[in-house]
A and B are shown apart, each in its own frame.
Chain A
Amino acid sequence: MDLTTTYLGLSLKNPIVPSASPLSRELDTVKKLEDAGASAIVMYSLFEEQLQFEAAELTHFLEHGADSYAEATSYFPEPAQFHMGPDEYLEHIRKLKSAVDIPVIASLNGVSTGGWIDHAKKMQDAGADAIELNVYYIATDPKLASADVEKVYVDVLKAVKNAVTIPVAIKLSPYFTSMVNTANKLVDAGADGLVLFNRFYQPDIDIDNLEVAPNLVLSTPNEMRLPLRWIAILYGKVKADIAATTGIYSAEDVIKSLMAGANVTCMCSALLRHGVGRVTEVLNDVRTWMEEHEYESVKQMQGSMSQKSCPEPAAFERANYMKVLQSYV
């Protein structure tokens, strides 16, 4: 049975890739993921704001109070060297690359085209096999038109593509007015892959303390419906690989995503909830299902249920909505 797939020009032994999460922070965990069967790893994100914030914060607090009072011209010793910026992240790429055999996909998270784009090149130099670009952009400015938002994505992508030679996937928000059009613009701008979707952290409200509570809620399996639809629609309409992410918990979820047209399926919440061994379980279940249903390869099913190939293309559109509503009563 052939579970191999390709993604961003990388040959992967199967379609299960743990997505960007704290799991990749520990070397041991990544080794365990590899042992469990993961075919590649997307590293935790290097955040543009975090880098800027850390540098500004450190500078501020080390200087704060200095040269203000005769007895204490400073409050901290000055180390010979600070490892600021992406140093720690890059070092981690190097460590991962020497510790595991599976491809390592670095993740870059930001919205501007400033100096931080250079980090992409540094990631490549550190050994990253590809870059997942996460343009986490919440458009709150009423003056911004949808085209402006799309331009942000395109500009950042172009800047990164100009900086590196390794493949670049872009993680998208589901909130584009015309997803297929936007996806194609991004592919034209050089995207080698589309990752669907970015699940923005959704803040909660603490009604007792009247506070916004930005806590993370792990995804649930039914959330995969959203990417599933768009993968199915996009498949064949864009010349780029597709990664499914959000709500992939089981072999069925993996198979559905592949059938919709994904090259790989990214798991995160399932692993955080059930442990890294979940990869093995899902892989085994995929194998069993394929055996039972006499599939020989993953490629055989990829895109088979996309809008292009499925028996009822309209089901992914408005007609589907009507049908669902009717079935509810």
Chain B
Amino acid sequence: MSRKMVTIDGNQAAAFTAHKTNEVCAIYPITPSSNMGEWADEWSAQGKRNIWGTIPEVVEMQSEGGASGAVHGALQTGALTTTFTASQGLLLMIPNMFKIAGELTSTVFHVSARTVATHALSIFGDHSDVMACRSTGWGMLASGSVQEVMDFALIAQAATLEARVPFVHFFDGFRISHEVMKVEELTDDDMRAMIDDDLVRAHRARALSPDHPVIRGTAQNPDVFFQARERVNPYYDACPEIIQKYMDKFASIAGRQYKLFDYVGDPEAEDVIVMMGSGAEVAHEAVEYMNERGAKVGLVKVRLYRPFSIKHLMQALPASVKRIAVLDRTKEPGATGEPLYLDIVSAIDEAMSEGMAPFANRPVVIGGRYGLSSKEYTPAMVKGVFDNLAKDKPKTHFTVGINEDVTHTSIDYDPNYITEGEDVVRGMFYGLGSDGTVGANKNSIKIIGEDTSNYAQGYFVYDSKKAGSVTVSHLRFGPKAIRSSYLLTSANFIGCHQFVFLEKYDMLSSAVDGAVFLLNSPYGADEVWDKIPRKVQEQIISKKLRFYVIDAYKVARETGMGARINTIMQTCFFAISGVLPREEAIQSIKDAIKKTYGMKGDQIVQMNYNAVDQSVSNMHEVNYPSEATSTIEIPPAVSPKAPQFVQEVTGEIIAGRGDQIPTSKFPADGTFITGTTKWEKRNIALEIPVWDPEVCIQCAKCSMVCPHAAIRFNIYDSKCLETAPATFKSADARGKEFEGLKCTIQVAPEDCTGCGACVHICPAKNKQEPKLKAINMAPQIPLREPEKENYDFFLNLPEYDRSKLKINTIKGSQLLTPLFEYSGACAGCGETPYVLLLTQLFGDRAVIANATGCSSIYGGNLPTTPYTVNRDGRGPAWSNSLFEDNAEFGMGYRLTFDKFKVMAHELLDKLAGQIGDNLVAGLKNADQSTEAGIQEQRNRVVELKKKLEGMDSSEAKHLLSIADYLVQKSVWILGGDGWAYDIGYGGLDHVLASGRNVNVLVLDTEVYSNTGGQMSKSTPLGAVAKFAYGGKPIAKKDMGMIAMSYGNIYVAKVAMGANDLQCLRAFLEAEAYDGPSLILAYSHCIAHGINMRTANDTQKQAVESGHWPLYRYNPALAAEGKNPLLLDSKDPKISYQDFAYAQTRFKMLTKSKPEESKRLIALGQEEVSSRWNLYRQIAAMKYDLVE
């Protein structure tokens, strides 16, 4: 039977089979598994049916715990049910997994295996999550390639119904889940042939039903639990043979034969590697290469990890084996070895004692770790493992792929050992996220995979930033199946889609001799040579590269493509790479364009066609001299002024050399210094704001809304200007309290992302030419050097004395130094201005608990972190625990601080005689409600410490260690709506109800932003999101109202872009309130589909429509007999529709389901109106009448 070849990634492959073979799917988004649930949801929304003809029900839950509960329930009532997850998500499912397995329930969970957070979070792939599930009693089946993912998903589904052992079907996160490969798509008939419908009916017959009632989930006592638990044994004993039976059946249907343990290599191999997952495919490639060169080596690929079959392992191992290296993609500190290693050791020992082993002498077994968090694992490393194994005394418990120079576990390997065939075309493409490079490459793979007989593979690497992110695409094409699950190390095509990258990345080090180098260059073939760095010239010359240039941005501009150069660069690639005949390739590109953009309008299609046609004629080959002549040198990644750690670690990561940093350079416990973004000068803005002091009214709104703290405001003594750089600008400070002083608004030229939010918010217009404001965007490059100097000067100006500032004014608040700067958040981010404000107001005494999400990524993702310190060295201390427990985590901070304060008071009392009563009384009774009060208390603490340092008692030492806690600490609990409304809600509710003095800031984007736009309970009615494909049918949860119902929680709803002063007041009141506070902050987001430059207008519309009423609920007012609810916004003056249809998230529904959109928006209007009415009535209530 001929089957369709498709070019898809691992997530799609898993979802495809799962959607076809299940009836219910309950999920929760988590990287890198989210796409599986999204595919399933999309297919169900499109009416795609499973093999029994019904459309699977897909539901998004509030957490993985919830998803697994729903799955458990659906399974118990008889539906074929699945879920998709990874990492912490899988860990949250463990309690239900024990139950599901204990009840012998047939199901398959598809897991894109991801690192479990330890010293740091990582979204990338290893087996630490699945290995944490070993004791649950689930079967575990490991896929090593995209094809295997599709195949094993089916084998597992078919087998679980018979075996009654539930299965985790796992594959490596990112490396497989996101690797795009050409694979054979299974047909419905294949699936029907594999799955026995009698077993499906048997599964249903076991369901809970009042028509044949049973009870399951009893509680058992010591008398019976143990023996009853052992009752499952026969099912586990039978399971491996059942899996093999279905693997054999699959082979008879689809032609691909798998075994529980597949052996590859010399039949008389003496050295064998045992491993599973994508790494086994890499080892497969290396073993074949080594075999061809005479090495007697082999590989056992573990498919079925649980139930572990010693018998089948022994059948797979060659009798000749003398040495075995077992590789684990996980780490179990403190264990005698990693899990697979231990299993192999015990399996061999048991097999030998039972007489099952094929060998007479026990082979040496060593264990090693590789590939944690998607660390590269290459054939070179495989060779290194074999070399180690062949030694007289091979290193065991080794690591490979890193330089572990602390306990010296790492083994050596030759990185230049390359096993790829000459027939593989390999291309690397460096682009920006925003230029569409990855999308174009995905398209290219599809074209080559589906229009030619070639195999194709694509893998995409993204950096840690959301603004100006760099992408590197790794593409392979060739006549043979591709097993190379690793990044390209040598390429015969290098595409540099951004000219500036030449100074940042050493991309030509991967080019093979005679490779093609395509550069998007503003300079033509005649002038480009002198514009590129000397090192690049040298590489081009020495490798005899064929060098082409195109001004893709010019072509894009001229063809109406804007900044999307994807189609242009893709066309050039096809035109010069020779992968396809040129005309054929161009036709294929056009066909792909039609497919991608056809439904978005003919004009978009024609525009892309035009860009294709213009590309080739604008591309030119560069004739270059035989000697490098350039004077341009590649600058260091960070300034030489940076601290040593930043030079040695941070800078190396920024330069793309993180893989080479040895273990010893890292902190042992995941603790990093703050304030490192300032060393990473990214220069990503094409235009930056320029201040016009003549026009400026010094309102400081620009500084307040800047998402990156890249435009700053200061007022200072005019004497400071004596040493100012020539182009430094200043104006007489406005306002009585600043009389005689000077004012400057200064841009950080290299840190600005060019979003233009500052210019848009600026209220001052040039009277002669009102299109100009007090700040205006201008090209960055000519401004870079002078403004760098100006910014350095600005940063050294004295800070305004914060104890003398009116911080309850916008101007006053913006004179406070930001302690959160230059984050990697999206240009124009709606969240970060709130974080910035928080750090300005309270950063010098704030401790932040940050839920996982966008704010934890831009807040804490390496290489650099934006939280920083003031001139006294004080600043926010920050940590991220989990996604689900952030409120509890933050409350833990409070418990400590409260306890330490009590302890300090107790010790002060005890030591009062030595310290002095006055100081003790001052310290204990300090009024810390103002900046001045805090400063006084800090001074007292300094005095106290001086005294304590001279004292020798244990009590004095204890007090010294906690004296700083006498200065009030400000606990902030930050997170998005996914955390607050969904996964963390239970904990948040409890913490708010605890009465403890914590401040919760919900950065409400009304959608899961970080994982790519999934619906949360905050998503508004009528908005389209993933899992709300047809528009969210339910109104958003009114978190504020729920919190207000407790009566003792300070609650505020703010939207800085609509009312900055109300927002500022809310922050100050929340922090001042001696109890729990909740601030719900409207945060515009790229997931709304809006212009981020003008996004503060969206905030205004949210407020003016009544969708986001501004209010403050202050329980302190109730205590005074006043109504605690103060409505800060006026009656709605625009419709819900006017707010909604200005954003793609709502508008797109008018293009897909116009009538439904109309209905939902009308419902939204009703909801908004009635809610506003309710708020108005509550705000009008007379509290003085309440007895």
Interface residues of A (CB under 8 A from B): 51-52, 54-85, 88, 115, 210-211
Contact = CB atoms under 8 A, between A and B. Distances in A.
Contacts of B1009: 72, 75
B434 A68 contact: yes
Contacts of B770: 210-211
Secondary structure dominating the interface of A? loop
Interface in B792-836: 826
B31 A71 contact: yes
A58 B600 CA distance: 8
Contacts of B178: 70, 73
A84 B1151 contact: yes
A189 B442 CA distance: 49
Interface stretch (B39-47, B191-199, B399-407, B569-577): B39-47
Contacts of A85: 601-602
B525 to A, nearest CB: 30
Contacts of A69: 433, 462, 465-466, 469
A51 B767 CA distance: 36
Contacts of B1153: 79
A62 B1011 contact: no
B1049 to A, nearest CB: 32
A72 B45 contact: no
A57 B599 contact: no
B1011 A84 contact: no
B1144 A62 contact: yes
B1010 A76 contact: no
A70 B123 contact: yes
5 contacts: A52-B603, A55-B604, A65-B1086, A72-B1011, A83-B1152
B31 A65 contact: no
Interface in B1002-1025: 1009-1013, 1024-1025
Interface pairs A-B: 9 shortest CB-CB: A68-B433, A72-B1012, A55-B601, A61-B1089, A67-B438, A210-B770, A79-B1152, A61-B1144, A75-B1013
B606 interface: yes
B600 A84 contact: yes
Nearest to A64: B1086
Contact of A71 (B597, B1010, B1086): B1010
B471 interface: yes
B31 A70 contact: yes
B599 A82 contact: yes
B504 interface: no
Given A58-B1144, A75-B1013, A68 B1151 contact: no
Contacts of A76: 1013, 1024-1026, 1087, 1089, 1144-1145, 1148
B528 to A, nearest CB: 27
B522 interface: no
B765 interface: yes
B1144 A57 contact: yes
Contacts of A84: 599-601, 1151
B938 interface: no
Contacts of A77: 38, 41-42, 45, 1013, 1024-1026, 1029
A73 B602 CA distance: 25
Nearest to B1143: A61
A83 B600 contact: no
Interface string B599-624: 11111101000000000000000000
Given A82-B1152, A83-B1151, A115 B603 contact: yes
A83 B1150 CA distance: 8
B462 A68 contact: yes
Contacts of B462: 68-70
B826 A65 contact: yes
A63 B436 contact: yes
Interface residues on B, range: 35 or more
Contacts of B597: 59
A71 B41 contact: no
B439 A66 contact: yes
A55 to B, nearest CB: 3
Contact of B1012 (A63, A74, A211): A74
A80 to B, nearest CB: 5
A199 B1102 CA distance: 34
Contacts of A66: 439
Interface in B112-131: 123
B787 to A, nearest CB: 27
Given A76-B1013, A83-B1151, A65 B600 contact: no
Given A76-B1026, A76-B1144, A84-B599, A56 B604 contact: yes
Contact of A210 (B437, B460, B765, B1086): B765
Nearest to B601: A55
Given A65-B826, A82-B1151, A75 B1089 contact: yes
Contacts of A56: 603-604
B600 A82 contact: yes
A70 B1010 CA distance: 10
Nearest to A116: B603
Given A67-B460, A72-B1012, A77-B41, A58 B602 contact: no
Most buried by B among A52, A57, A77, A78: A77
A79 B1026 CA distance: 10
A73 B31 CA distance: 10
B1065 interface: no
Nearest to A57: B1144
Contacts of A67: 433, 436-439, 442, 460, 471
B267 interface: no
Given A71-B1012, A80-B46, A55 B1086 contact: no
Contacts of A80: 46, 1152
Interface in B588-604: 597, 599-604
Contacts of A211: 770
B562 interface: yes
B1123 interface: no
Nearest to A83: B1151
A83 B765 contact: no
A71 B31 CA distance: 6
Interface string B425-467: 0000000111011110010000000000000000010100110
Nearest to A68: B433
Interface string B1139-1168: 000001101101111100000000000000
Contact of B602 (A60, A64, A115, A210): A115
A204 to B, nearest CB: 15
A25 to B, nearest CB: 11
Contacts of B469: 68-69
B174 interface: yes
A79 B45 CA distance: 9
Nearest to A52: B603
A61 B1009 CA distance: 15
Contact of B123 (A60, A61, A65, A71): A71
A79 B1098 CA distance: 25
A76 B1090 CA distance: 13
Nearest to B1092: A64
B564 interface: yes
B35 interface: yes
B35 A73 contact: yes
Nearest to A212: B770
Interface in B1128-1147: 1144-1145, 1147
B433 A65 contact: yes
Contacts of B174: 70
Contacts of A68: 432-434, 438, 462, 466, 469, 471
A56 B1144 CA distance: 12
A217 B1118 CA distance: 49
Given A64-B1089, A77-B1024, A210-B765, A58 B1012 contact: no
B973 to A, nearest CB: 22
A60 B1151 CA distance: 15
A87 to B, nearest CB: 9
Contacts of B123: 70-71
Contacts of A81: 599, 1152
Contact of B1013 (A51, A59, A72): A72
